Amino acid sequence: MEAGERRWLERGLREAVLAGDEQAWKALYEASFDRLYAYVHYRTRGDRQQAEEIVQDCWLIAVRRIRRFDPDRGAFIQWLIGIADNVLRNHGRKWWRRRWTEIAGIEAQGRIPSPSASIEQTESVAMTLLSLPPAYQAVLRAKYEERLPVVEIATRWHTTPKAVESMLSRARQAFRTAYRQATG
Amino acid sequence: MAENRFDEDEPLAPGLPGIPAIPTASPVFRRAVLEKTTETMRGIRRRWRLMMAAGLCAAYAAGFATMALWPGSPEMESPAPGGPAPIADGRSVFEAAEAEEPDMLLSGVIGAPREEQIRLLKETGNTYLSREGDIASALYYYRQALELIPTSRTVTFDPHDTWLWISLNESRMKEGNHEDTRS
C-alpha cells in the first residue's frame, strides 16, 4: 500500500472511530493485530502470558487515545508499537526486575529487554512478513515456513502450479524490498 | 535476452533459507480484546455525549442567569402580556420569590401538612431559580417537592410555574408512562 493511500485510509478510519463506528475500529484492529502481537511476543521473549497482558493494555490505551493518532506522522502500526514500547517499559519495571532478579540475579532497572542478534533477525523477518498483503504472507508461509513444494501449494489452493509460481515470485520480491528497508 | 526462470528452491533472502514460525495469538484472546476495546469505545462515546449535553445545559443556564441579572433587561422591567402571571396574592412568581428568603420558606416545612410542604419546597426552588439563577439548588428543592407528590396524581400546571418545574414534572410523567408500558 502506498504511503498516500495508507494515510487517507487510516485518517478515514480514525474519523469514523471518533464518530463511534465500531466497524471502523474492527478494521483498524484486524489490520494491525498480528503485527503488534508478534512484536510484543519477541520483546517478551516468547512469554505468552506476559505478551497477552501487554497486547491487551496496548489496545486499551489505543482505543482511549485514538484522537492523538495522526496518520500524517506515521502508520497506525508504528503508533501502536510506540505505545507497546511504553507499556513494555512500564511492565519491565515491575515484571522484568522481579523475574531477572529471581532467575539470574540481574537488576533490570526498567529496561526493555534487548533481543540477541538471532532473535532480532527472527523478529525482523516476522515483522516484515506481517507487513505484506495477506496473499503474499500466505504463499511465503506455505513455502518457507511449512516447506511445501509449489505443486502441493497449488493442490491445496485449487489452482495451477504456474499461478503459485507467479504469486511466489512477486511475494519474494515484495519481501526482499521490505526486508531491506526494515534492516537498513 | 536472459530468460527469467523460476527457481523453486531460491532462498527468501541472502542468508535466509526459511522463515521462523510466526507467533500468533489464540482466536479466543483476539476476540476477547476486540470485545473489550469495543466496549471501552462505547463507554467513551457515552461519556462524550453526556459531556456535550451537560455543556449545552450549562450554556443554557449561564444565558438564563445572565438574562435574569441584567439590570436593564426588558423582560424584567416590563413583562410581556404572556409573562409571569400573578399568583394567589396578586404578585408575580418573581416578585413572590424575591420577597421571601429560602431559609424562611424552608423553616416552615417541618411539621407542616404535606400540601404546604410541597408548596414551600416549590417556592424555595422558585426563589433559587429566579433570584440567583441557581439551577442546581432549584433542582434539589423541586425534586424534594416532587417526592412528596404521589406519582398517581395528575399534575396540572399554573401559568406562573417555572420552566424547570414544568420540565421536571413532564419527564416524571413520561417516566411513569414508560414504567406502566413496561409493566
- What is this model's ipTM? 0.71
B136: three-class secondary structure by DSSP: helix
The answer to whether residue A76 scores a pLDDT higher than 90 is yes
The answer to whether residue B29 scores a pLDDT higher than 70 is yes
* Contact predicate A112/A89, CB 8 Å: yes
pLDDT tens string B115-165: 888 888 888 888 877 776 676 677 778 888 888 888 777 777 777 787 778
Residue A162 CA to residue A146 CA, distance in Å, equals: 19
Å from A135 to nearest chain B CA?
A: 16
User: Looking at residue A97, what is its pLDDT?
Assistant: 56
User: Looking at residue B1, what is its pLDDT?
Assistant: 44
Residue of A nearest to B21 (CA): A145
Chain A residues 57-96 with a CB less than 8 Å from chain B: 59-60, 62-64
The answer to whether residue B25 scores a pLDDT higher than 80 is yes
Please name the member of A29, A122, A147 whose beta carbon is closest to the beta carbon of B20.
Answer: A122
* Contact predicate A8/A2, CB 8 Å: no
Q: Taking the complete model, does pTM exceed 0.80, yes or no?
A: no
Reported as a pLDDT band with limits 50, 70 and 90, residue A60 is very high
User: Looking at residue B132, what is its pLDDT?
Assistant: 66
Which of A99, A103, A113, A90 has the alpha carbon at shortest distance from A41? A113
> At CB < 8 Å, which residues of chain B contact A?
6, 8, 10, 12-13, 16-25, 29-30, 33-34, 36-38, 40-42, 44-45
Residue of B nearest to A174 (CA): B12
Taking each helix axis from N to C end, the angle separating A48-64 and A76-91, rounded to the nearest 10 degrees, works out to: 120
Please name the member of B8, B19, B23 whose beta carbon is closest to the beta carbon of A37.
Answer: B23
pLDDT tens string B64-109: 777 766 666 555 544 445 444 444 455 555 555 555 677 777 777 7
Taking an 8 Å cut-off on Cβ atoms, the answer to whether A17 and B41 are in contact is yes
pLDDT tens string A77-124: 999 999 999 998 888 766 655 655 554 544 444 544 555 556 677 778
Taking an 8 Å cut-off on Cβ atoms, the answer to whether A145 and B38 are in contact is no
Q: Is A39 on the interface with B (CB under 8 A)?
A: no
pLDDT tens string A128-154: 888 888 889 889 988 888 888 999 999
Taking an 8 Å cut-off on Cβ atoms, the answer to whether B22 and A129 are in contact is yes
User: Looking at residue B176, what is its pLDDT?
Assistant: 64
Residue B44, C-beta contacts closer than 8 angstroms, at least 6 positions apart: A63, A64
Taking an 8 Å cut-off on Cβ atoms, the answer to whether A145 and B6 are in contact is no
**C-alpha cell read off for A95:** 515484571
Residue of A nearest to B25 (CA): A37
Taking an 8 Å cut-off on Cβ atoms, the answer to whether A63 and B12 are in contact is no
Task: Name every chain B residue with its beta carbon within 8 A of the beta carbon of A41.
Answer: 23
Complete DSSP assignment for A80-122: HHHHHHHHHHHHIIIIIHHHHHHHH----TTPPPPPPHHHHHH
pLDDT tens string A19-48: 888 999 999 999 999 999 998 998 888 889
User: Looking at residue A172, what is its pLDDT?
Assistant: 92
Least confident of A54-68, B17-31, B143-157: B143-157
